Amino acid sequence: MKRFFAFGCSYTNYAWPTWANLLSTNYDEFYNWGLAGLGNRAIAERVAEANVKHQFTKDDLIIVQWSSHLRNDWWHKYSCSDRPYQWKTSGSIFNYINEKIYDDKWVEMFFYEPAYFMHTLNHISLTQGLLKSIGCEWYMTSMGDIRNLGADLRNHADYGELGHIPTPGDVNVDMLAWEKIPELAIYNKSIWENNKDHWLMPMETHAQLHKEHTYKYVDDVRGGTKQFTDDFHPTPRQHALWIESQLADRLNLSKETMDFAFSVADRVDDHFNKFKFSKMQFTEKLFTSDFFEKKYEKMKWPTWIMGF
């Protein structure tokens, strides 16, 4: 029996099926531990939590998608009760949602970007160690290349995912972090070079090769604007293309699996083309039980939020 565990943020568990859901058809059991807005410390902690709950074995497939170093992870049962999860992170410290939580005093006292980047590196390394100790099949990916400090993401000012270190001229500098914070370059060998076979192309980097598939819709979930805006989360088609490029060979995925992934992309694209004037209507329908007909039932989506 083959189990598949996916970890990450909204690039892994989102308003439409992601790479994780599309891949789930290939496995007897699927657990999507992705949670929107998470930072890398929470992602690492949730790998540890899942190991305790599911007792990982060498027969498992585990894929971890890292997010951004600019997120402050915290867990609380009561505070910020308007946030649906108990991991309260909600994306970058500097996004529009978190503006009220992190005032200037907090940022000056607790935020130091090189340190936040170091925390990300330490948690990736801890997670690699845990996965190696299990002996399972494991891979890692990320939104952009973590070493580019957010400079390779399609920037959306509200998302606050571009830190303070990169400047506009740094957009195309590869491995920007080692140039800007050279003392942290000591991590490159053990995290990336020694684990080359385990790293997959960052999802955003890949999506940028297929920009034409990016969804642009009226985001009435946030209210106000009637303007069409890009949603930079990879679309089902971009996810399917990423799977084809990065995982099909590694996981020996069948033609049937890939055909299925693209058929989900077709289905969601059709729906998107009818409802792009309203994100709310577009996404709400996706969650209804009758949206995906019987032929899609082997895909596990939507999934319950896993973990504490």
Residues near other proteins (CB under 8 A) are 41, 44-45, 47-49, 51-53, 55, 74-80, 86, 101, 106, 108-112, 114-115, 118-119, 121-123, 125-134, 183, 186-187, 190, 308
Supply the minimum distance, in Å, between the C-beta of residue 133 and other proteins: 4
Locate 268 and state its tokens: 């969601």
Supply the minimum distance, in Å, between the C-beta of residue 39 and other proteins: 13
Nearest to 121 by CA among 185, 50, 197, 45: 185
Q: For residues 264 and 301, what is the distance between their CA atoms, to the nearest angstrom?
A: 11
Nearer to other proteins, 192 or 296 (CB): 192
Nearer to other proteins, 131 or 207 (CB): 131
Cross-strand pairs, 66: 142
Nearer to other proteins, 14 or 139 (CB): 139
Supply the minimum distance, in Å, between the C-beta of residue 47 and other proteins: 8
Nearer to other proteins, 131 or 240 (CB): 131
Nearer to other proteins, 123 or 279 (CB): 123
Supply the minimum distance, in Å, between the C-beta of residue 148 and other proteins: 20
Q: For residues 234 and 216, what is the distance between their CA atoms, to the nearest angstrom?
A: 11
- Give the strands of the sheet with 3-7, arranged side by side: 29-32, 3-7, 61-66, 137-142
| The dihedral sign for the CA sequence 31, 33, 36, 40 | negative
Supply the minimum distance, in Å, between the C-beta of residue 71 and other proteins: 14
Supply the minimum distance, in Å, between the C-beta of residue 119 and other proteins: 7
Given the DSSP bridges, would you call strands 61-66 and 29-32 parallel, antiparallel or unpaired?
Answer: unpaired
- The string of DSSP codes covering 123-167 is HHHHHHHHHHHHT-EEEEEESS-GGGTTTTS---GGG--S-SS--
Nearer to other proteins, 190 or 229 (CB): 190
| The dihedral sign for the CA sequence 282, 201, 245, 248 | negative
Residue with tokens 């819709």: 217
Nearest to 190 by CA among 180, 203, 199: 199
Nearer to other proteins, 111 or 262 (CB): 111
Supply the minimum distance, in Å, between the C-beta of residue 130 and other proteins: 3
Nearer to other proteins, 76 or 298 (CB): 76
Q: For residues 158 and 251, what is the distance between their CA atoms, to the nearest angstrom?
A: 36
Supply the minimum distance, in Å, between the C-beta of residue 89 and other proteins: 11
Angle, alpha carbons 96-116-87 (nearest 5°): 55
